[in-house]
Structure formats: C-alpha cells, structure tokens
Amino acid sequence: MASGPLRVVCFVNQFFGQLGGEEKAGVGPQVTDGAVGAARAVQQVLGEAGTVVATVICGDNYTAEQGERAVAELLALVAAARPDLVIAGPAFLAGRYGVACGALCAAVQAKLKIPAVTGMQAENPGVDLYRRQVYIVQTGAEATRMLAEVKRLIALGLKLARGEAIGAPAVEGYFARGVTRNVVTGATAADRATAMLLDKLAGRPFASEVPRPAFPSVPAPRLVKTLEGATIALVTDGGLVPRGNPDGIEALNATRYGAYSIEGKAGLEAAQYDNPHRGYDTSWVKQDPHRLVPVDVARDLEQSGAIGKLHETVYSTVGVATTLAHSARMGQEIAEKLRAAGVDAVILTST
Amino acid sequence: MAVAPRSPRLARRGVLTVESGGASSSGRVGRLYYRAMRLELRWSEVDELVAGSSTRLAGRRLEVDLDALSRLLARDARLRGIRLDLVHPGERCRIGRVFDVVAPRARLDGEDFPGVLGGVARAGHGTTLALAGVAVVATDQQTDSVGTLAVIDMAGPNAALSAFGATENLVISAWPAPGAERSDYLAAVRLAALKAAVHLARAAREAEPDRVEVFALPPSPRVPAELAHLPRVAYVFQIHSHQRPTGLDEGILYGDPVRRMLPTLVHPNEVLDGAVLRGFMGRSVTTWATQNHPVIRALYAQHGRTLWFAGVVVTVAQATEPERVRSAFLTAGIVAHTLGADGAVLTKIGGGAPHVDMAQAAAQCEALGVKTTLLVEDMSTDGSAEGMLLFDFPGVDALVNVGSSHEPLTLPPMDRVVGADDLAPGLQGETRATYGTLCGAIEQIGATRVMAEVR
Amino acid sequence: MTPVAVMVGANRIVQAAGIIHPLGNADLSADDEKALRRRIVEQALQALRTEVVRPTVFTPE
C-alpha cells in the first residue's frame, strides 16, 4: 500500500485523449508522459496527493474489436509506468469506452495487483459487466459535471491505493458490486428483527438486509429421441469418488469434479469408492454407493432396452458451499463433455 | 406485565417432581384465577476470576477451588484427565479447540439443566442464580477435524467481536477415556461444562444480587382486555438440524435428543432457564447464547408495550423434503391457529438445509396471514450477494442477516494458547481464520451485531 | 432441497428419498431398496420425456 504522493496512470479513449472523434476510433494503444486531455482534470483534483505520470490512450473501436489483445497491450503500457493507482475514464454513457475501462481496470487489479477505479453512467454496459470486479463510480450521461465526478473518483482511488477501508456504495458513490462484507452494526440481529417485524405488522416500510435472488431461467431442452434410443449419463454432486479421491475433490467449496469410468461394470462396489462430502452424513452412501448413483438400476434398464445406452462415465463433484461461479463453470464443462460424447440426457443426483 | 419487587428471602429448595396447584405466582382475570410461569434471575457481577482454596464469591471476585472442581469433573468414566485453565480479558491468549460455551447458572430451587444434568423438572419457574462476566468454555480434545472447531481471542482487534473476549473464562480441557466413542466423549464434555457452570454459580447463593430480572408470562390466551389490541408475536425456534442425526445421549430439549421431533410448544422461560441446550454440531450457536436467548429477551422487552409475546414453537430442521413440508405445515398451524399470532420471528441452527427449512415454515405462516421476519446467515461462500439466499418464497421478504461465516479474518499473534496444546505452534502465530471460526462472532439466534452488508 | 433446485432454475426435478440416501433407504431390505431406487429412476426417465416450460417437481408415486 502506498503513502505519500502517488504515481497515477490515466486511461482515456481517443476523444478524451484529444486525438480526435469517431474518425480516430481505430487508433491503437499509445502512451504520453504526464496528463493529457481529460487526465488533466484528474491531475487538478489530485493536487499534491499524486502525479499523473502517464496517460494511456486507445481508440474505442480498437479495444472493442481486439478485446483481450488490446487489454494485454494496454496492460504492458500501464506496467511500464509503474503506477500506484490507475484511473480509467470516466466513460459516462459511451458504451465501448465503458467496457474498455472496466476490462482494463479488472486486468490491472488481477494481473498487476495495482488498485484501479473507473466511472460511468448506470446504463453503460460496462457497469453490468464489471461492477463485481471493479469499483465503478456513478456518473452522469455526459461530461457536464465531470469535475465533481472526478473528485469522487479520485477520493475512492486514493483510499484504494492507501489501503483504507471503503465505505458503503451510497456513501462513496460507486455501483453496488454485489459483494458482501461483514460490518458491526449498532444493534443485535434479534433487536433488528423485532423492530423489522413491528414495522412489517404496522404496514410501515422496512429495509430487508438481504436482496432477493434472481436466477435467469434456463429453457428446458426437449428429449428428441425416444428413451429406448437415448444415451443417458449419471452425474452427482453428492461426492462419490474412487477410493483415495485421486482428483482431490475438495470436501467444501469444491472447484473440481471427476470423471469416473463405469465401463463394463454392472454396479458400484462399495470398497472401491469413498465420499469426502461434508454437508451430510455419508455413511449410508458409502455403505452402498447406489443410494447416490444408481448404476445398478440403470444397467438393468439398459439391458432390458428401456434406455438405449448407459454412458460409460459418471461425473461427480462435492456440492456443499460450492460457489455459484464454480458450480456454473463445472456444470458447463461437464455438459460440453457429455454433448461431445453423444449423451442425450442426464440424471443428476443431488444431496 | 408487572415489575416484581426483589424477593426478600431465598426461595425454598427442593426438587419439584409434581406440578400441583401450589404455584407461587398467579393472577386474576375477572373471576378466573390462572397460573403464570415466573422466572427470577438473580445476577451477580464478576470482574475477577482467580484460583482459590474454596469456591466463593467475594464482592466481585470469584475464587474457584480448581482442584475440587477437577476432581468433581474427573468422576465421569468417559473422561481421562481434566485440565482447568483460567483466562482473562486483555490477556494475549487464544483459546483453541472450542466446542461450546456455557453461562454459569444454578437453581436455588428445582433442577439444574433438567434432563441432562438434573432430573426432569420444570425450568423457567422459580429462582436462578446467574453470574455476569464469567463463561465456561468447553474444548474438544478428541477430533482431528479441527477446521470445525472455534477459537476465542482475549486480546487484539477480534476480541471485541465476541462476547467471550470480554468474559472471565474457565476453560475445560478433558481427554477421552480409552475406547470412549465420539458421542460418549462429547456428552461427557458437555456435562462437565454444565457441572462447572452450576458449581461456579452456586458461589453466589448467599450473596445479595447486584440486579434481579423477572420474566413472567401468563398462558398465551390469557390477555387482559386492555392489552388485547397489541399484535401477537410468536417465536419459531429451530433447535437442531438433522443434517446429522443426534446421539442417544445428545440431550437438547429437557434431555431429549429430539430425533425427528415434530413442532411443539415451550414456555420462553424454559429456554432462558436451561431446558434447551445446543447439540454437538450446532454451527455458530452456543449454549451460552441460548441461555441468554436474544430473541426471547427482545420480545419480552416489548411484551405488553408494542406486542403480546404469544409463545415459542420449537422445531428441528428435517432431513427429507416430505418431513420438511410436514414440519412447516404443523409449525404454521400452531403459530396461526393455536397461538393466534399476527407475526413471527424465526431463527435457525446449522447450514443450508435448515435455512431452507426455516424459510418453508415462514412461507407457510405467510400463507396463513402471519407476517414473518427471519434471521438468516449469509449463505454465499464467495462473498457474492447473489449467493446469500437459497430460497425465494412469496411474502418471506423481511430478512435480517447475521453475517457471513465464510468471510476471512486474520487473527494476530498471541503469547499463549489454551485448550489446544497440539495446535499451539500454528495457533499462536498470526492465523487465518473466518468469522465462523471465531466463537461468538456470529450467533445465528441473533445475539451478535455482525451483519453482511451488500456492497 | 427441491426449493433450491426450483429457485436456481432446474427444469425437471424429481423428489428423491432424502439427503443421506437419495436413492435408497437403509430401513428397507436390499430388494425393497432396489425397487425403490428403480421407481425413482423410472420417474426421472418419465420426467425427461415430459415437456416442461418452467421448473417442475415430479413426485414418485
């Protein structure tokens, strides 16, 4: 964490870098010493607290079309200037610019471990894409109140660079990132709950402390073949692993899954399997793994022709305290493998 | 609710084995008499805990005869070796392998911790001694799965996060006798903590209390006419989760292991006076918090003023969906049709399945027109707000959160470690922990002030 | 945990026989247990054949 005057690098697009308008949107990454264009407002607000040592500029079309390659190139220019803090934008309502600012800030944080901050208007697509990873200060649609907004941007940036505690979104002026952080409040949860219930009973407004979840709906695929012609795979999040857990699937917060062959097997022999899952008492499924993954019944159904084929690989992970992000990723990877193998449908056992 | 004067003399001792019409507290509505449960808690403040030649309370100094107490606890054949340590606030000490914390209480009449330590007798009616500022900390010396155990810091920035960073702590370390099975050992450890809690509190039996609290609540339907307009509020108290079945001697409700218990009613005083204990696997809940139940106290504080405390329904979180549905259905029926509640506060114990179980009970209550507020734990494991809740039911929209157990905490280096000799090298230095592993930082029944703020 | 499955948007959900043994029951004989397992799996196959437009819970008879 830095103290004393900070080295700051600013990122701006072709317009705010004073290279030109849309006709210059294709210019590639370049850097100028000191504060250029809109970066001068940043320097003005920074005052003694820091120096804009370089301004990195890139055209909006270049960043939009080149994507990751542009970010990598910009990252190199930023790194060369050895900043303590990176300030991108503000991008207001300019979509390509906002997305570029978000992407660059995310990369600066992740790869260079340098604090970064940007600003844009609520409907800029960069907000939804990057709000979770990057502090994005809320601005207006145009540069009319830019000075005031840059002040908020700098104030937040300085806190990040100095390792100071960041306040709530409403206080600091950034978009809620959808992350949670434990704080100590003034009253116990029991007292807060009693007060909240009395408000609810009286019809007074109350502020729930947890936002309602919103999961996108997934269209339900249709099984095109008949069951007699279909290949069915078995998947589980109940933690079935071969003895010794060769893939090292974690007992909690799993980030890995395993692919286990049942080719030629009529069933699962208990002695060959184990179960590290910590979210339920696994003794019953260790005693008989079919209570979790019904290979025996599925084989019978395959033999009788009720289903066309039982897929020879069982996919398994441990579903306790698994993050949404990892769950979605693992599900996607498993689905892709199954589809590539010609599987038509999946029976997933969950505990 | 009348405010009772202090009792001028100690109540009669003795074991109450038969409930008869001789209850010492009664009231009158019109021409009908009724019995009211009345608990008098006589508090003595303690700010010093030292070893002494006998266990006695001298002013605010509690002296403990550690040898006599050790010998008392060592009589349990399931244990081999007892060590007692005294740990003080402000000491650069970390207590490890924490299993549970118990508040020192002793009945002046009746049975202590009925059904577990004492015989089955009414809790919550009569007089109980309580010591403020002292806690009994039980450690688990058997398990290798130390990630499931908690720590308590007595100094440093995290001491203030937990009630136990500010209490004088008697730490019990007891080892299993050879061949003692897990549930035997845990039952013995918990019993040792209860015995120690009673032993300490009895030191106050001759003392003039520093303050007295009286909890008196008549049977639920008996509401004086002038208070009948108050909203009736019930508390739905999930006391155990069947993610793991209880052991036979894992007494939770008057000593019953509550296996597959259907929802039932208890008087709030019974919870405040030792009838309900934490089981062996309750995460982020201590017996201490249960004894000082914050929701029950909060509702009592408002009783007769902004609400009428309609009663306490105890439930367990079931392990199968049909049982969960049935339990939610029965709970809602009791809350709406028997207690006639207008509103209900709900809490849970355990992890994700109980979180959903509690929400299902609340949804059923809302469907019957009972407004609910729930205390939820942030279920997200990666700090993302979208993972906080595992349910979305109509009407279940008033949520208080008790924080995220998964959020990391750094515990600073300490000078000594108590209760965890084998882990001391790791625990004594700077330690990465979580809010959940700091005992008392998060209490799911609402005793704490930590909240997961959405940023 | 069917409400969780409904909430996250799983479309075809079959109610199984409990967390600790979703496709079994230690109280039953081995034959009865396998018969129970077969019934649940057959319900799952039936669900796969059923067209659904939103999260739907299927309960085995």
The DSSP annotation for A200-255 comes to HHHT-----SSPPP-----PPPP--S-GGG-EEEEEESB--EETT-TT---SSS--
The whole-number average pLDDT for the span B105-132 is 96
Q: What is the pLDDT of residue B367?
A: 96
Asked whether residue A205 is domain-assigned, the answer is no
Domain with A318, as residue range(s), is: 227-349
Gap between the Cα atoms of B130 and B41, Å rounded? 6
* Mean pLDDT score, A166-191: 91
Has residue B289 got a pLDDT over 70?
yes
Domain shared by B134 and B230, yes or no: no
Same-domain check for residues A142 and A46:
yes
Q: What band does A199 get if pLDDT is binned at 50, 70 and 90?
A: very high
Question: Between A149 and B273, where is the model more confident?
Answer: B273
Structural tokens at position A287: 């005693």
Listed range (A92-101, A177-186, A216-225, B106-115) with the worst mean pLDDT:
A216-225
Domain count, chain A: 2
A328 close contact with C: CB closer than 8 A: no
Query: Which domain-ending residue is among A139, A172, A205?
Result: A172
Residue A78 to residue A99: CA distance in whole angstroms:
17
Classify B23 as helix, strand or coil: coil
Residues A148, A25 share a domain: yes
Q: Identify the CA nearest to A38 among candidates A21, A61, A60, A55.
A: A55
Report if residue A312 sits inside a domain. Answer: yes
Which residues in chain B are closer than 8 Å to A193, comparing Cβ atoms? Answer: 295, 298, 345, 373-375, 400, 446
Identify whether residues B250 and B119 lie together within a single domain: no
Contact between B384 and A324 using a beta-carbon 8 Å cutoff: yes
What is the C-alpha separation between A153 and A174, in angstroms, rounded?
9
Q: Measured on CA atoms in the order B83, B86, B89, B92, is the torsion positive or negative?
A: negative
Give per-residue pLDDT as tens, A248-260.
999 988 889 999 9
Average pLDDT over residues A187-198: 98
Closest Cα in chain C to A344: C48
pLDDT computed for residue B34 by the predictor: 54
| Confidence (pLDDT) at B189 | 97
Residue B23 has pLDDT above 50, yes or no: no
Q: Provide the edge-to-edge strand list for the sheet that holds B56-58.
A: B48-51, B61-64, B56-58
Q: Is the pLDDT of residue B439 over 90?
A: yes
Say whether both A165 and A298 belong to one domain: no
A249 touches chain C (CB under 8 A): no
Helix, strand, coil share of chain A (percent; to 5): 40, 20, 40
User: Is there a single domain that holds both residue B55 and residue B195?
Assistant: yes
- B54: distance to nearest CA of chain A, Å? 38
Residues A134 and A260 in one domain: no
- Chains A & C: contacts with CB separation below 8 Å: 87
Contact between B360 and C18 using a beta-carbon 8 Å cutoff: no
For residue A242, being part of any structural domain is answered with yes
Q: Which two tokens stand for residue B406?
A: 């998964």
C3 and B390 within 8 Å at the Cβ level: the answer is yes
Predicted confidence (pLDDT) at residue B328 exceeds the cutoff of 50: yes
Q: For chain A, what is the mean pLDDT?
A: 92
> Distance between CA atoms of A87 and A81, rounded to whole angstroms?
13
For the ranges A64-73, B50-59, B139-148, the lowest mean pLDDT is seen at B139-148
- The beta-carbon neighbor of C11 closest among A220, A290, A349 is A220
Q: For the whole model, what pTM was predicted?
A: 0.73
Statement to judge: residues A251 and A339 lie in one domain: yes
> Which member of A179, A183, A206 has the closest CB to residue B384?
A179
Q: Is A270 on the interface with C (CB under 8 A)?
A: no
A204 located within any domain = no
- Closest residue of chain C to A224, computed from CA coordinates: C49
- 3-class SS at B427? helix
Least confident of B45-49, B227-231, B313-317, C56-60: C56-60
CB of A186 less than 8 A from some CB of B = yes
The pLDDT of residue C37 is above 50: yes
Residue A219 forms part of a structural domain: no
What is the model's pLDDT at position B391?
Answer: 83
Nearest to A324 among B306, B371, B387 (CB): B387
Residues A158 and A252 grouped into a single domain: no
pLDDT tens digit sequence for B128-169: 999 999 999 999 999 887 776 899 999 999 999 999 999 999
Q: Please judge whether B360 and C4 are an interchain contact, meaning their C-beta atoms are less than 8 angstroms apart.
A: no
Q: Which domain covers residue C27, as residue numbers?
A: 2-58
pLDDT of residue A321: 73
Contact (CB, 8 A) for A179 and A132:
yes
> Cα separation of B402 and A124, whole Å?
34
Chain C: touching chains (3 or more CB pairs < 8 Å): A, B
Q: Which of A109, A141, A172 is the last residue of a domain?
A: A172
User: Both B101 and B144 in a single domain?
Assistant: yes
Residue B28 lies in a domain: no
Structural domain that includes position B134 = 33-204
**Pairwise pLDDT comparison (C58 vs A53), residue with the higher score:** A53
Q: What is the pLDDT of residue B25?
A: 47
Residues of C with CB under 8 A from a CB of A: 1, 5, 7-12, 16, 19-24, 26, 33-34, 37-38, 40-42, 44-45, 48-49, 51-54
Q: Are residues A233 and A87 in the same domain?
A: no
Name the residue of chain A whose CA is nearest to B294's CA.
A190
A30 and A148: one domain?
yes
Mean pLDDT of C23-41: 92
Q: What is the ipTM of this complex?
A: 0.93
Burial group, residue A224, by CB count within 10 angstroms (0-12, 13-18, 19+): exposed
Q: Convert the pLDDT of each residue in A334-347 to its tens digit.
A: 999 999 999 999 99
In a domain, B295, yes or no: yes
Closest CA to B104 of B225, B230, B173, B199: B199
Q: Are A154 and A272 within one domain?
A: no
- Nearest-CB residue to C15 (from B319, B321, B390): B321
Do residue A269 and residue A124 come from a single domain?
no
To 10 degrees, the CA torsion angle through A272, A273, A274, A277? 170
Rounded average pLDDT over A37-45: 93
Same domain (yes/no): B256, B328:
yes
Contacts of C15 (CB under 8 A, 6+ apart): B321, B322, C2, C57, C58, C59, C60
Q: Which chain B residue lies closest to C25 (C-alpha atoms)?
A: B320
Residue numbers in C near A297 (CB within 8 A): 23, 34, 37-38, 41
- Per-residue pLDDT at A28 exceeds 70: yes
Which of A186, A189, A321 is opposite residue B402, by nearest beta carbon? A189
For residues B133 and B268, state if they share a domain: no
Q: Is the peptide bond before B322 cis (omega within 30 degrees of 0)?
A: no
Q: Does A213 touch chain C (CB under 8 A)?
A: yes
Q: Which residue of A has its CA nearest to B354?
A: A279
B372 contacts in chain A (CB < 8 Å): 197
Q: Based on the domain organization, do A161 and A64 belong to the same domain?
A: yes
Residue B283 has pLDDT above 50, yes or no: yes
Q: Is the pLDDT of residue B59 over 60?
A: yes
Residue C18 has pLDDT above 80, yes or no: no
pLDDT value of position B104: 98
pLDDT at residue B18, as a whole number: 27
pLDDT of residue A43: 95
Q: In the predicted model, what is the mean pLDDT of residues A82-108?
A: 94
Most confident of A127-131, A321-325, B89-93: B89-93
pLDDT tier for residue B32 given thresholds of 50, 70 and 90: very low
d(CA B280, CA B241): 11
pLDDT at C17: 82
The CATH number of the domain holding residue A56 is 3.40.50.2300
pLDDT-derived band at B21 (thresholds 50, 70, 90) equals: very low
Cα dist. B170→A311, B56, B138, B358, C45 in Å?
Answer: 59, 15, 8, 34, 59
Averaged over C18-38, what is the pLDDT?
A: 88
Q: Which residues 6+ apart lie within 8 Å of A236 measured at CB?
A: A292, A293, A314, A315, A316, A317, A348, A349, A350
At C1, is the pLDDT very low, low, confident or very high (cuts 50, 70, 90)? low
Question: Measured between alpha carbons, how far apart are the two ends of chain C, in Å?
Answer: 19
Claim to verify: residue B344 and residue B427 sit in the same structural domain: yes
User: Mean of the per-residue pLDDT values for chain C?
Assistant: 86
Q: Residue A122 has what pLDDT?
A: 87
Kindly provide the b/e burial profile for residues A149-186, where b requires at least 16 CB atoms within 10 angstroms of the residue's own CB. bbbbbbebbbbbbbeeeeeebeebbbbebbbbbbeebe
Q: CB–CB of C1 and B320 under 8 A?
A: no
Chain B contact for A207, CB < 8 A? no
Q: Give the nearest chain A residue to B447 (CA atoms).
A: A188
Q: pLDDT category, C61, cuts 50, 70, 90? A: low
Give the model's pLDDT for residue B9. 30
pLDDT at B12 over 50: no
Q: What is the mean pLDDT of chain B?
A: 90
Q: d(Cα B439, Cα B388) in Å, to the nearest integer?
A: 21
Over residues A114-168, the pLDDT tens digits come to 999 999 998 888 888 898 899 999 998 877 777 888 999 999 999 999 999 898 8
Considering only alpha carbons, which residue of chain A is nearest residue B449? A188
Q: Is residue B16 part of a domain?
A: no
* Contact pairs from chain A to chain B, CB under 8 Å: 181
pLDDT range class, residue A285, cuts 50, 70, 90: very high
Same-domain check for residues A248 and A133:
no
Which of A202-206, B264-268, C51-55 is least confident? C51-55
Q: Is the confidence at residue B19, as pLDDT, over 50?
A: no
A291/C26 Cα distance (integer angstroms)? 9
| The pLDDT value given to residue A21 | 87
Which tokens belong to B327? Answer: 């339990």
B447 domain residue, yes or no: no
Cβ-proximal residues to A82 (8 Å cutoff; 6+ apart), any chain: A7, A53
The 10s digit of each residue's pLDDT in B363-373 is 999 999 999 99
Instruction: Look at residue A130 and tell me if it is in a domain.
Output: yes
Please give the pLDDT value at position B48: 97
Contact status, residue B169 vs residue B234, Cβ threshold 8 Å: no
Structural domain count, chain C: 1
Q: Tell me which chain B residues have a C-beta less than 8 angstroms from the C-beta of C18.
A: 319-321
Q: Does A6 touch chain C (CB under 8 A)?
A: no
Q: What is the pLDDT of residue B144?
A: 83
Residues of chain A contacting residue C24, judged by C-beta atoms under 8 Å apart: 284-285, 288, 290-291
Question: Token pair of A34, please?
Answer: 């000191």
